[in-house]
Amino acid sequence: VSAPGPQVLVIEDEPQIRRFLKATLGARGYRVLEAPSGEEGATLAASHNPDVVLLDLGLPDIDGLEVVKRIREWSPMPIVVLSARGMERDKVAALDLGADDYVTKPFSVQELAARVRAALRRAALSKGDGETPVVAVGDLEIDVARHVVTVRGKRVRLTPTEFRLLATLARHAGRVCTHRFLLEEVWGSRNAGQTHYLRIYMRQLRNKIEESPARPRYLLTEMGVGYRLVDE
């Protein structure tokens, strides 16, 4: 008998969505726990301590953001938010409250599974020594500790700010980083609001790393939310 798969708590009020999530995630080896409301979700999270939470932001009883807050009071368990298009502000709010990532409805199962995998990976990493030594995706390799970035085996020369930005994204590889988070990590909190600095540096990074900066492969823009360094 193989070890039981990771446990996923699905907090979602639409039974149809719960149904297909349960079926498809179950088929991929996850054990699925369901909660049709925010209150129940928060309670189940506390009692079962799942490996990852899928949280719909539009719940009937309490605000999804409130659920994020309650869970973050006691646990760093990965939370992936499910949200409709055009609700970028809510997504950013959830992420800034500590949610790990988001998927926009309607989503494909592949997309969702990728996010959940990434979230689990990061959770496992942060239980270890905490620091990501090397991130390797495709032809890109980032050695955060040694300050070395190579593309197709060739070393890329970065400015200190460019490197700090890339290293921050690399430490959270696969996960979306909000503008505010990046500004605080790279520039310190006093520059929050100067999002265009961030955009200028992202452009410079893309010009140095991407083969075709206008069709990025590694450094993706999540318009209205932030940036993501792909990790698979």
Partner 1 sequence: MRSTPTAYAWSVLTTALATGIAYLLLHRFAPTNLAMIYLLGVVFVAARFGRGPAILASVLSVCAFDFLFIPPYYSFAVDDTEYVLTFGVLLGVALLTSGLMLRVGRQAETARLRELHTSALYRMSREFSRAVSRAEIVRIAEEKMGEILGADVWVFLPAADGTLAPAPGVTSAFPLAESEMRVAQWVFVSGRPAGRGVENFPEAGALYLPVSGTRGRVGVLGVFENEAKGAPGIERRQLLDAIAGQLALALERDALAEEAREAKFRLESDRLRETLLSSVSHDLRTPLATIAGAASGLIDGDRALDEATRRDMVLSICEEADRLNRLVNNLLNMTRIESGALHLRKEWHPLDEVIGSALTVLKRRLGDRPVQTRVAEDLPLVPMDGILIEQVLVNLIENALRHAGARGPIEIEAAERSGEAAGDREVVVSVADRGPGIPPGEERVIFEKFGRATRDPASAGVGLGLAICRGIVEEHGGRIWAENREGGGAVFAFALPVGRDAPETIEESEE
3-state secondary structure of 137: strand
75 near partner 1, rule: CB under 8 A? no
Is residue 65 within 8 A of residue 93, CB to CB? The reply is yes
Looking at the Cβ atoms of 126 and 150, the one nearer to partner 1 is: 150
203 near partner 1, rule: CB under 8 A? yes
| Member of 222, 226, 229, 231 binding partner 1 (CB under 8 A) | 222
161 near partner 1, rule: CB under 8 A? yes
Give me the least distance between CB of 158 and partner 1, in Å please: 6
163 near partner 1, rule: CB under 8 A? yes
| Member of 26, 29, 76, 106 binding partner 1 (CB under 8 A) | 106
189 near partner 1, rule: CB under 8 A? no
143 near partner 1, rule: CB under 8 A? no
Give the number of other Cβ atoms within 10 Å of residue 225's Cβ: 18
| Member of 4, 15, 86, 130 binding partner 1 (CB under 8 A) | 86
Which residue blocks in the chain are alpha helix, DSSP H? 15-27, 38-48, 64-72, 88-96, 109-127, 160-171, 179-187, 195-209
Stretch that binds partner 1, among 46-54, 92-100, 112-120, 220-228 (CB under 8 A): 220-228
Give me the least distance between CB of 107 and partner 1, in Å please: 10
Looking at the Cβ atoms of 30 and 227, the one nearer to partner 1 is: 227
| Member of 57, 81, 95, 158 binding partner 1 (CB under 8 A) | 158
Rounded to the nearest 5 degrees, what angle is found at the Cα of 85, between the Cα atoms of 77 and 76?
Answer: 10
58 near partner 1, rule: CB under 8 A? no
| Member of 206, 209, 218, 231 binding partner 1 (CB under 8 A) | 206
What are 187's two structure tokens? 């520039």
Sheet containing strand 140-143, strands side by side: 134-137, 140-143, 148-151, 154-155
Any idea how long the chain is?
A: 232
Helix axes 64-72, 88-96, angle to 10 degrees: 10
Looking at the Cβ atoms of 30 and 201, the one nearer to partner 1 is: 201
**In 3D, which of 163, 162, 17, 38 has the Cα closest to residue 103?**
17
Is residue 68 within 8 A of residue 99, CB to CB? The reply is yes
Please report, as ranges, the residues that interact with partner 1 according to CB under 8 A: 85-86, 88, 106, 108, 147, 157-163, 195-197, 199-203, 206-207, 212-216, 220-224
